[in-house]
Structure 1
Amino acid sequence: MTTSFASHLLGWKRLDKSPALVANTADTNSEPSKALAAAILEHLDIAPVVHRTNPKELGPALEHAVSRDLADTLSRLAPARAWQVDHRELVTSFSQYAHLARLSQLLRQHPELRAELGRDYLIKPDVTVGIEESPDPEDKHSFLHAAVSCKWTIRSDRVQNIRHEFLQMIRHRRGRLPHLVTVTAEPMPSRIAAIARGTGEVDAVYHIAFDSLTAAVDAVGSSQQKDDWQECVEQRRVLPYEELAATLAGW
């Protein structure tokens, strides 16, 4: 499966001071990454041409694409629910985390407490999926149904950022935990596995070109890449992006 917006984001880029083209998901310092990323584009029949329409800032472009897609798809799949899909909304806007806004106000009044308590609980997920009705009829906040971390590619620092943000959301919630998921276009199964594996901070990783990555791994992946991909897929730790909205609508 390949999501509807993938072809608008995936494409080729030119290396600096070189006529060579590489896929825009590739780590240019890694030959396996370049080979897998190119194979994905070949499977999608994306010609090796640099298109001016491809966004330059791919991370934010992915965030906005996921936000728009979920808003549209969820409203069609479950129109009876009052969906609220936002980009970069503070978790304190939602019922499970509204108490953190009061804590933040307290820290503003007493700056000496900041060193002890920190402020890393004031999280703005890339995409939030809220439901306007809270389980508590007296609570006027929306209920946070899902938080989506969008990462165009995955590097070790981004893995730690995802885990840290989601761990804070797990620790500080009051009420049911929202779905905590990652969406990516990363071409290397070993790097995807770095976030897909773990102790539960992330429910699942959704890939925007799942079928094409599967074909790329089969065609040019090393034995390690094939093992990592098979492990993540068989354990349903990595899923096609197209399943995300249906999963959220069904819970």
Structure 2
Amino acid sequence: MQPRPSAPREPDLHEAMTRAERAVFHRASPEFLLDRARRVFHRALLDERVLVTHPSTGVPSNADKDSGTSVRYATAIAEGIGAVEAAPRAPGQSASRNFERAVAAYLQGIFPAFGAVRPGEWMVRRLGDRNEYGGIEDASEIFEQYEHLVSLRETIESDRALRGLLGYEAEILAPDVVVARAPIPDAELNELTRLVDPLGPLAAASPLRAAVQPKLLLHAVVACKWTLRSDRAQQARAEAQHLVRNRRGRAPHLVMVTGEPMPSRIAAVALGTGDLDCVYHFALHELMDAIDPQADPAGAELLHTMVQGRRLRDISDLPLDLAV
């Protein structure tokens, strides 16, 4: 009996797949959520023209065109991901916004799966998009740890002398992507064990109780920088310091996701004083494959230092780290 021919597949569709998508196409075992989410995340970057190659030069959109090393590493990353199109990059700030949206969508797709280890009502969203929500939203108006800044801002804005002295304190806190949880009703806290007395004086100040306060609890702030130049590295550090310095209560996780291909530029944020908990690369495994220790021993050593020092991780590690 002749074996049945395999079902035909669309050659154009197969050609358009990323390398990760082709691997899944041929995989017999069930797919894991983190595998699928990372693949969908990369596909979003391709579809939204965040990661493209220049039509005439072939330089990837996350490379510094004036640096041969940056172009070489970015090209290797693009080849590792696969199916990167030669097309104009998204105009203006659209690439940055699309990168933030892709990171937010990535976390939104995974975080519900942590219900067993991180139960609760969780929210992942962007705050800094003027178009998405009708205006930039201020963290002080949303999150419990920063609500005191509302009255501080009103006081500063009403006093010219204070404005001159502390004007920076009145700046809007609008991180790129935030992860937050809602406070818990007493009935839910008492569901398995009689934990809190709704009418008693104990635990009457904990913001985790919805009976105490209604605002969301900021759990994590994810800065999104598609590329890293010196000004962006300093901006990320300043934003993290601002969030830590002005909080009241628990500090949120402070992390960054980047697509920067140069280890030296990543190190400017990842190493040092530890303003950020950790830096996450959108394609760390592809970057590690791209660096040849013989051709660039300093870059390879720096990358190894960041990875082994737990200062740089892949995007697939981020959801698990945020569940801590």
Provide the TM-score with structure 1 as the length reference: 0.90
Q: 1:115 to 1:66 in 2, by over 3 A?
A: same
Structure 1 residue 73: deviation in Å?
A: 1.1
1:3 partnered with 2:77:
no
Residue number in structure 1 paired with 2:75: 38
1:90 partnered with 2:163:
no
Structure 1 residue 3: deviation in Å?
A: 2.2
Structure 1 residue 196: deviation in Å?
A: 0.1
Report the residue type matching 2:173 in the other structure.
Answer: I
Higher fraction of strand: 1
Structure 1 residue 177: deviation in Å?
A: 0.7
Report the residue type matching 1:8 in the other structure.
Answer: A
CA displacement 1:77-105 (0-9 Å, x = unmatched): 22732112121242212111110111111
Q: Hey, what's the Cα distance between the residues in 1 that align with 2:298 and 2:172?
A: 38
SS class of match (1:150): strand
CA displacement 1:149-199 (0-9 Å, x = unmatched): 000001100011011111011111111110000001110111101100121
Identity over aligned pairs, percent:
35
What residue ranges of structure 1 are gaps of 5+ in the alignment?
none
Residue number in structure 1 paired with 2:208: 135
Matches within 5 A, 1:1-251: 3-4=38-39, 5-10=41-46, 11-14=51-54, 19-46=56-83, 49-51=85-87, 55-56=90-91, 57-78=94-115, 80-88=119-127, 89-92=137-140, 93-120=142-169, 121-133=171-183, 134-135=207-208, 137-218=211-292, 222-249=296-323, 251=324
What residue ranges of structure 2 are gaps of 5+ in the alignment?
1-34, 128-136, 184-206
Q: 1:12 to 1:86 in 2, by over 3 A?
A: closer
- Do the aligned partners of 1:150 and 1:183 also contact (CA within 8 Å) in 2? yes
Structure 1 residue 219: deviation in Å?
A: 7.4
Report the residue type matching 1:42 in the other structure.
Answer: E
SS class of match (1:22): coil
- Do the aligned partners of 1:152 and 1:185 also contact (CA within 8 Å) in 2? yes
Larger radius of gyration: 2
Q: Hey, what's the Cα distance between the residues in 2 that align with 1:116 and 1:220?
A: 53
Q: Hey, what's the Cα distance between the residues in 2 that align with 1:219 and 1:7?
A: 29
SS class of match (1:149): strand
Report the residue type matching 1:135 in the other structure.
Answer: L
How many residues align? The count is: 245
RMSD between aligned alpha carbons?
Answer: 2.1
Between 1 and 2, higher relative CO (CA 8 Å, sep ≥ 6) is seen in 1
